[in-house]
């Protein structure tokens, strides 16, 4: 048997949805360092490799499952499997998300709009519905959703994405108000530009729509950031860990901006 874990989350169970890559992977690594038992999920089968990398000697502290967050039955099954294996769910961190294909509102295919809303808004709602009964039963818990600095204003070529993150903030605030009496908090992290493959792909797609190079697009976007660069995924993971910890116990319904100053409000 491995030694008992130590850290802020020793004895706690953290469910991370979207844990295979980028911010989700960094979040899983951060919670693992803090001693948490992890229930990792992603539609990407690479989540199983992540679990293998983070697992302890006896494999008791990390589980992985392929899940489509737009499917209510799969979300419920994930929560049930987590409780069966670990006995509780202390933190739900929903990191999974997609960008829309760049398009003017006038040209945005409704199928693309539906796809983005399904993953970015419906998915976190379904996950909250799946874990809330367990969190109420155990006397509390923390829900952390990942919104965006695009959740405050509409932006050209990304109207559907902005709408999905606006709605996610509203749902998170509603959960916060409804569940406070049950000892459950709900908050968002609202990242700015994060230097992941998803961000680089968005830059390439927008560059193509504007008829410029990807490097020119990057310079345009990064020049808008007072700190001068997109952050590494670990910076967002640190914020998620904070909101999942007891250090944030008096925060609920909040959106924590981690954006390098690109949006000041």
Q: Which residues are catalytic?
A: 161
- For residue 209 the two structure tokens come to 């729509």
Among residues 51, 26, 37, which one has the least CA distance to residue 191? 26
Would you say 48 and 25 are in contact if contact means Cβ atoms under 8 Å apart?
no
Phi-psi region of 132 (alpha: psi -120 to 50; beta: other; left: phi over 0): alpha
Cα–Cα distance, 165 to 202 (Å, whole number): 16
Count CA within 13 A, CB hemisphere, residue 136.
12
Query: Is the distance from CB of 232 to CB of 250 less than 8 angstroms?
Result: no
Here the tokens at position 259 are 């954006």
Identify the CA nearest to 231 among candidates 187, 183, 195. Answer: 195
**Cα of 249 vs its chain's centroid, Å:** 19
Instruction: Please calculate the CA angle 6-58-44 and round it to the nearest 5 degrees.
Output: 90
Residue 35 and residue 61 in contact, taking contact as beta carbons nearer than 8 Å? no
How does DSSP assign 222-241, residue by residue?
HHTSTTSSPBPHHHHHHHHH
């Amino acid at each position: 048997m491995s030694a008992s874990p130590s850290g802020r989350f020793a004895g706690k169970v953290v469910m991370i949805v979207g844990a295979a890559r980028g911010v989700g992977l960094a979040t899983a690594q951060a919670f693992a360092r803090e001693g948490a038992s992890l229930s990792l999920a992603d539609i990407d089968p690479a989540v199983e490799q992540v679990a293998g990398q983070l697992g302890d000697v006896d494999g008791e502290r990390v589980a992985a499952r392929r899940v489509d967050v737009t499917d209510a039955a799969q979300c419920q099954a994930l929560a049930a499997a987590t409780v069966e294996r670990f006995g509780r769910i202390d933190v739900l961190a929903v990191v999974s998300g997609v960008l829309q294909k760049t398009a003017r509102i006038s040209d945005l295919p409704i199928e693309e709009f539906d796809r983005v809303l399904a993953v970015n808004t419906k998915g976190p709602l379904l996950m909250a519905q799946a874990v809330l009964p367990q969190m109420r039963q155990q006397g509390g818990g923390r829900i952390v959703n990942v919104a965006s600095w695009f959740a405050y204003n509409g932006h050209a070529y990304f109207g559907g994405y902005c709408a999905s993150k606006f709605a996610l903030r509203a749902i998170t605030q509603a959960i916060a108000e409804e569940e406070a009496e049950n000892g459950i908090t709900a908050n968002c992290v609202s990242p700015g530009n994060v230097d992941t493959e998803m961000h680089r792909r968005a830059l390439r797609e927008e560059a193509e729509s504007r008829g410029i190079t990807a490097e020119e697009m990057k310079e345009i976007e990064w020049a808008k950031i007072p700190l001068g660069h997109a952050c590494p995924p670990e910076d967002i993971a640190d914020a998620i860990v904070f909101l999942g910890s007891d250090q944030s116990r008096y925060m609920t319904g909040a959106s924590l901006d981690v954006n390098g100053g690109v949006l000041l409000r």
